[in-house]
Chain A
Amino acid sequence: MAQDQYRAEPASDYILRSLDDVTLVYHRRSGQTHIVVSPVPEILAALTGDISSTAEIVARLSHDYDLGDPHDALAAVQTHLDEMVALGLAHVA
């Protein structure tokens, strides 16, 4: 799992709206609306660009955020990525 490479859903395929307490994502292809909280919007932002591995995403995030214990961080980001892939917000490259 941690060896997977990921890419984002193209930015034109979803709409993000920040509300005061959560972020909304409208996914055009599925017509689904998701209410998301940290760290999902941050992971989405860290994904844009090329294909990345989970470790690369974690490294990118840790430039701007405190991720705590690095081992836990890798597992946590992996879990969130898996959920995002299941919903079509990210893809296994």
Chain B
Amino acid sequence: MSEEKGRNAGDPQGLPPEDESLVTPTRRRLLMGGAVAASAIVSIRPALASTAASVLNCRIPVPDPPHASQHIAADGSLVPAGTQGAVPGAGRPFTGEEVKAALRGRHLPGTSYEQNQAYLNYIRRLQSGTSGFTCYASLQMPR
């Protein structure tokens, strides 16, 4: 029976031949249709930083020591001290636990609303190599 399936070279849609006795289509729908195809691939990222650092107590200085004299804009970027709308750095590093709670809606301890927002945005922008990056990466456990 399936010999006929797929051999209909003249039919551009590849539909099953009409003399098949089945009423419903026998082929599974493969694509969802529509203009934009959603990605079908998720690549596993190494979890080294996340699990290894989670077994240690770690901390995140805001900003990192080489930039201690700079201020932090509302979007988390580093700006010269005295820039309008920017806040000075935090007086002490935050622990992983404090940052984790703040990312979930609590407040970084000892901070005003503006400071909290600026510091969290700074932390979210941390790059590999900057002090505190591994600690931040350790907080990124899925779900």
Is B55 part of the binding interface, using a Cβ–Cβ cutoff of 8 Å? no
B33 with A72: CB separation less than 8 A = yes
A-B contact count (CB 8 A): 76
Is A28 part of the binding interface, using a Cβ–Cβ cutoff of 8 Å? no
B37 with A79: CB separation less than 8 A = yes
A68 with B42: CB separation less than 8 A = no
Classify the interface of chain A: helix, strand, loop or mixed. helix
Complex-state Cα separation, A50 to B99, whole angstroms: 53
Residues of A within 8 A of B12 (CB): 70
Within 8 A of B (CB), among A30-87: 32-40, 42, 59, 61-70, 72-73, 75-77, 79-80, 83-84, 87
Q: For residue B8, which residue of chain A has the nearest CB? A: A63
- The CB with the most chain B CB atoms within 10 A, among A33, A36, A76, A77, is that of A76
Is B23 part of the binding interface, using a Cβ–Cβ cutoff of 8 Å? no
Within 8 A of A (CB), among B1-38: 5-6, 12-14, 25, 27-37
Residues of A within 8 A of B33 (CB): 68-69, 72, 76
- The CB with the most chain A CB atoms within 10 A, among B29, B30, B40, is that of B40
Number of residues of chain B lying within 8 A (CB) of chain A: 23
Cross-chain pairs A/B with CB under 8 angstroms, 29 sampled: A32-B43, A34-B42, A36-B40, A36-B41, A36-B42, A38-B40, A39-B30, A39-B40, A40-B40, A40-B41, A62-B14, A63-B14, A64-B27, A65-B28, A65-B31, A66-B27, A66-B30, A67-B30, A67-B31, A70-B12, A70-B13, A72-B33, A73-B31, A75-B37, A76-B37, A79-B36, A83-B39, A83-B41, A87-B43
Sorted from nearest, which 8 A-B pairs have the closest CB atoms? A63-B6, A65-B30, A62-B14, A76-B37, A79-B37, A68-B33, A33-B44, A35-B42
